[in-house]
């Protein structure tokens, strides 16, 4: 097969361009002679067959990635990649659930966040519950490049098999870009926390993984990166960066045995989402992370939680058929959230 592909690649572009056309015309003429199909019948049949194959493929892949692959044990055993895992933003929500989930699987965990008190609490809990080692690094990711020398020093000599780039900040409430409180400082903090952290943490951990030819990097993005997010424009854009960066790195390092995963969840119960109770559409961080850890090695870019995956597919289909319509729907929803935010702030200021 390979020599044929190589030979084809080395043909002049005009012959390469003509090949599929000649193939299609040849097939039409063949079908016409043998089955007496005319051109339109041939086109209709081919389209139906291609569509059926595509649907069957998508369904099989969906079942495999979500359940069958996990049941057959084709997902990644993280412990085999290295004894240490690193989690950024691990004192609450999804990050805390990751720290527990990884420790539960017998991995030593480096806990990175900004509050000593919260870090001590998480470290204590993990040590009491699981028989693993922990290491704490205190940093505020809104700060610039200067924090990364300290992190690099802290991670030196550890065999890191898993990196969870989870830390991020969002808007206090949906807002016009120019009206964001403390404008420039807020822009800088968000870019540092949501994008610089992912870039720099990856740059620190990746060389060791490349050397050992194994590793997993999970970058926690958001479904907001897949849709229009008016009034959350900067947050959505930073998450679009996270997704693109992850997918491109995945291609770059395919041959190095490193698995990059781009998580694009919808709402999960947490301080950031301000959703307090879980239900069918909004999982707890623990339930979400359990599913995420099972999906490593099987799902590369994923909204993960089934209702979120369905929502992602609907967004995709909506954008494919009516790009402007999808944007208008996002604008209506965004404006409602903006109004809601203003009301909440008004009542808060009234109640002192
Ligand atoms: N929750 C959702 O609905 C949702 C949806 C889509 C994507 N996500 C993504 O999931 C990830 C985790 O979100 P979450 O909802 O779990 O957030 P969260 O509950 O607010 O937790 C964020 C964690 O990051 C830490 N952190 C925040 N800013 C930091 C900073 N500047 N320096 C160091 N640590 C900092 C927090 O520490 P403190 O406790 O000290 O603040 C906390 O441990 C984020 O990347 C987010 O964008 C969340």
**Shared domain check, 85 and 10:** no
- Taking the CB of residue 166, how many other CB atoms lie within 10 A of it? 27
At 215 the three-state DSSP class reads strand
The minimum-distance atom of ligand 1 relative to the CA of 272 is: 20
Extract long-range pairs of 142-148: CB within 8 Å, 24+ residues apart. 142/169, 142/188, 142/189, 142/190, 142/192, 142/193, 143/192, 144/192, 144/196, 145/196, 145/200, 148/200, 148/204
CB of 118 within 6 A of ligand 1: the answer is yes
Residue 12, in any domain of the structure = yes
Q: With left for phi above 0 and alpha for psi between -120 and 50, is residue 274 left, alpha or beta?
A: left
CB of 89 within 6 A of ligand 1: the answer is yes
Sole residue written with tokens 């097969």 = 1
Count of the separate structural domains present in the chain: 2
**Shared domain check, 227 and 86:** yes
Residue 238, in any domain of the structure = yes
Residue 284, in any domain of the structure = yes
* CA 217 to ligand 1 centroid distance, Å: 17
Residue 180, in any domain of the structure = yes
Residue 305, in any domain of the structure = yes
pTM of the shown model: 0.89
**Shared domain check, 168 and 31:** no
Residue 341, in any domain of the structure = no
Q: Strands 215-220 and 258-263, how do they pair?
A: parallel
**Shared domain check, 15 and 126:** no
Residue 229, in any domain of the structure = yes
Query: Which residue, judged by its Cα, is nearest atom 17 of ligand 1?
Result: 272
The verdict on whether 235 is a catalytic residue reads yes
The minimum-distance atom of ligand 1 relative to the CA of 189 is: 31
**Shared domain check, 256 and 121:** yes
CB of 92 within 6 A of ligand 1: the answer is yes
CATH number, residue 95: 3.40.50.720
**Shared domain check, 136 and 25:** no
Residue 132, in any domain of the structure = yes
Look up the domain containing 20 and give its range: 1-43
Q: Strands 215-220 and 160-165, how do they pair?
A: parallel
CA dihedral 271→276→279→284, nearest 10 degrees, is 40
**Shared domain check, 84 and 9:** no
Identify the active-site residue in 235, 267, 340, 347.
Answer: 235
CB of 220 within 6 A of ligand 1: the answer is yes
**Shared domain check, 181 and 35:** no
pLDDT per residue, tens digit, the chain (352 aa), is 445 656 666 777 788 788 878 877 887 788 778 878 777 877 877 788 778 888 898 899 999 999 999 999 999 999 999 999 999 999 999 999 999 999 999 999 999 999 999 999 999 999 999 999 999 999 999 998 999 999 999 999 999 999 999 999 999 999 999 999 888 999 999 999 999 999 999 999 999 999 999 999 999 999 999 999 999 999 999 999 999 999 999 999 989 999 999 999 999 999 999 999 999 999 999 999 999 999 999 999 999 999 999 999 999 898 888 888 888 888 899 889 899 888 888 888 887 6
**Shared domain check, 33 and 159:** no
**Shared domain check, 10 and 134:** no
CB of 292 within 6 A of ligand 1: the answer is no
* CA 221 to ligand 1 centroid distance, Å: 11
**Shared domain check, 184 and 299:** yes
**Shared domain check, 167 and 111:** yes
């Amino acid at each position: 097969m390979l020599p044929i592909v190589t030979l084809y690649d080395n043909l002049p572009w005009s012959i390469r361009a003509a090949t599929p056309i000649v193939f299609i015309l040849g097939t039409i003429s063949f079908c016409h002679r043998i089955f007496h199909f005319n051109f339109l019948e041939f086109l209709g049949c081919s389209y139906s067959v291609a569509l059926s194959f595509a649907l069957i493929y998508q369904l099989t892949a969906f079942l495999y990635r979500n359940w069958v692959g996990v049941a057959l044990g084709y997902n990644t055993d993280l412990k085999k990649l290295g004894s240490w895992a690193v989690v950024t933003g691990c004192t609450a929500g999804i990050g805390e659930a990751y720290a527990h989930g990884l420790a539960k699987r017998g991995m030593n965990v480096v806990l990175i966040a900004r509050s000593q008190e919260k870090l001590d609490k998480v470290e204590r809990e993990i040590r009491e519950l699981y028989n693993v080692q922990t290491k704490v690094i205190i940093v505020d990711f809104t700060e610039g490049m200067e924090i990364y020398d300290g992190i690099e020093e802290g991670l030196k000599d550890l065999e890191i098999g898993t990196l969870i780039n989870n830390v991020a900040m969002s808007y206090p409430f949906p807002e016009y870009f120019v009206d964001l409180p403390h404008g420039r400082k807020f822009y800088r903090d968000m870019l540092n926390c949501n994008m610089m952290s992912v870039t720099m943490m990856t740059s620190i951990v990746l060389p060791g993984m490349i050397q050992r030819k194994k590793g997993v990097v999970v970058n926690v993005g958001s479904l907001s990166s897949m849709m229009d997010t008016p009034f959350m424009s900067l947050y959505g854009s930073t998450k679009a960066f996270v997704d693109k960066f992850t997918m491109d790195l995945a291609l770059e390092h395919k041959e190095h045995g490193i698995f990059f995963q781009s998580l694009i969840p919808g709402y999960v119960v947490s301080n950031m989402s301000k959703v307090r109770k879980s239900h069918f559409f909004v999982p707890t961080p623990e339930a979400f992370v359990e599913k995420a850890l099972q999906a490593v090695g099987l799902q590369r870019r994923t909204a993960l939680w089934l209702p979120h995956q369905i929502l992602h597919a609907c967004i995709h289909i909506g954008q494919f058929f009516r790009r402007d319509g999808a944007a208008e729907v996002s604008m209506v929803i965004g404006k409602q959230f903006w109004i809601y935010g203003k009301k909440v702030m008004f009542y808060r200021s009234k109640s002192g």
